[in-house]
Amino acid sequence: MRVLMFGWEFPPHISGGLGTACYGITKALAEQEIHILFVVPKLFGDEKKGNVSFIDANQTAINLSYPESQKILKHLNYIQVDSGIVPYTSPWNEEILTEKNILHTKNETKKMLHFYFSGEYGKNLIKEVAQYALVAAEIVKKKSFDIIHAHDWLTYPAGIVAKEMSGKPLIVHVHATEYDRSGENPNKTVYEIEKKGMQAADTIIAVSEFTKKIIINKYGIPASKISVVHNGIIEAKNKFITKKITPYRKKTVSFIGRITYQKGPDYFIETARMVLRKFPNTHFVMAGSGDMLLPMIHRIAELKLSSRFHFTGFLQAEEIEKLYALSDIYVMPSVSEPFGITPLEAMQSGIPVIISKQSGVSEVLKNVFKINFWDIHAMADTICNLLKHESLSDALIHSGMKEIRNIKWEDSARKIKKIYKSHLQVIH
């Protein structure tokens, strides 16, 4: 079985959970003997390989005729892009060549085009999403595959185009939705792209029941079209859990995630304030950056708690490992978390975990504390008890590490493979 998979980020060049999940999925699927053609906007060269063939959109030459490209672009008219840019004009226009934001080379004789992808989430994101769809059209012409699998809204237009042109079934994998990210004020463009993707898909994979409900309620998709496949975690080999020593060392409570509305950083801070009243020597670390970073710093200064708070900014994988090693408690107070891989990593590192009930990962874990994200009293109660009673944290560390050994990507891959097969049956 060959799967054409569209992603946007891949470890180590990640900015959130999407890349990690893609790595886990592709690795496990490859072990189940599924050959994957993984398309990324930009291949950096140091990606964690495995049994996956990468296609670099940056390096893919577009050889579309004008009518072909127009047909595709008509399909993509729901993507609101700023005026005068590629999707609405002929790619061979002079104007584009002089456009400052988009760089591409034009080979006159063969009329081929390369698009530039930054591989990031910059201000040209929507444009890159549209370009990605054109790249997809090109790839479809050259590669053979049985299924198309698109991860998150950035790749849905590409997935739709690929389906249109190849006639193969499209699986759309929802790792997150605009509702998680922006609550009741979703970005209209992104919402439209998400909705179109979900409607065009033959099956939607949601990373949790929590996300499935959002898809049903906010996007109007029938439940029968949605399958839930929970994420997993890669087994950590050679992990030495050193018992945190010295009675003089202060206890550390960690928060790892973007400092943005969705992740509930403000609830973390209010909880910390309560805990510090009873345990004044506790330290709180917030690892991440985002649009709420400055307001949070201000709030902490206002509360005069700056000496107990540490902001690390965005951390790379090795640095996050170090952070887990010195954390005593991990908290994920997300307002709306489609899944949430960091609690799994924390449990693997031997840390008691507190997660919000409004998360997908709470559906698969037992040996964690689950609280409503707004319930700072419950969060503070739990943290105080973990700080006070070693028997409690020991119990959670022990049972958590045991439980995490059963949360494997193999199980997710098995379910995905079944979904793939169900579509192949239909064709034959």
- Cα atoms found within 13 Å of the Cα of residue 193, Cβ hemisphere only: 30
Taking CB under 8 A as the criterion, the residue among 124, 262, 382, 412 binding other proteins is: 382
Report the nearest approach of other proteins to the CB of residue 384 (Å).
Answer: 4
Of 213-221, 260-268, 389-397, 419-427, the window that binds other proteins (rule: CB under 8 A) is: 389-397
Taking CB under 8 A as the criterion, the residue among 65, 242, 307, 391 binding other proteins is: 391
CB 197 within 8 A of CB 204: no
Q: Which two structure tokens, joined as six digits, stand for 343?
A: 């609690």
Size of the site for other proteins (CB under 8 A): 23
Of 22-30, 301-309, 366-374, 418-426, the window that binds other proteins (rule: CB under 8 A) is: 366-374
The verdict on 370 binding other proteins (CB under 8 A) reads: yes
- Rounded distance, CA 97 to CA 105, Å? 8
The verdict on 394 binding other proteins (CB under 8 A) reads: yes
Full DSSP string of 318-359: HHHHHHHHT-SEEEE--SSBS--SHHHHHHHTT--EEEESSB
Q: What is the DSSP letter of 109?
A: T
Report the nearest approach of other proteins to the CB of residue 314 (Å).
Answer: 32
Strand order in the sheet with 309-311: 309-311, 283-287, 252-256, 329-332, 353-356, 369-371
The verdict on 243 binding other proteins (CB under 8 A) reads: no
Taking CB under 8 A as the criterion, the residue among 190, 380, 401, 404 binding other proteins is: 380
Q: Which is nearer to other proteins, 322 or 398 (CB)?
A: 398
Taking CB under 8 A as the criterion, the residue among 188, 249, 298, 377 binding other proteins is: 377
Beta-ladder partners of 53? 37
Q: Which is nearer to other proteins, 153 or 267 (CB)?
A: 267
Residue 418 C-alpha from the chain's centroid: 23
**Taking the chain, what is the end-to-end CA distance rounded to the nearest angstrom?**
14
Binding mask of the shown chain, residues 395 to 424, with x at each position contacting other proteins by CB under 8 A: xx-xx---x---------------------
Of 142-150, 169-177, 296-304, 390-398, the window that binds other proteins (rule: CB under 8 A) is: 390-398
Residue with tokens 């739709």: 160
Binding mask of the shown chain, residues 256 to 295, with x at each position contacting other proteins by CB under 8 A: ------------------x---x-----------------
- Rounded distance, CA 355 to CA 370, Å? 5
Comparing CA positions, the residue from 19, 63, 67, 17 lying closest to residue 41 is: 19
Note the residues at the interface with other proteins (CB under 8 A): 274, 278, 366-367, 369-370, 377-378, 380-382, 384-385, 388-389, 391-392, 394-396, 398-399, 403
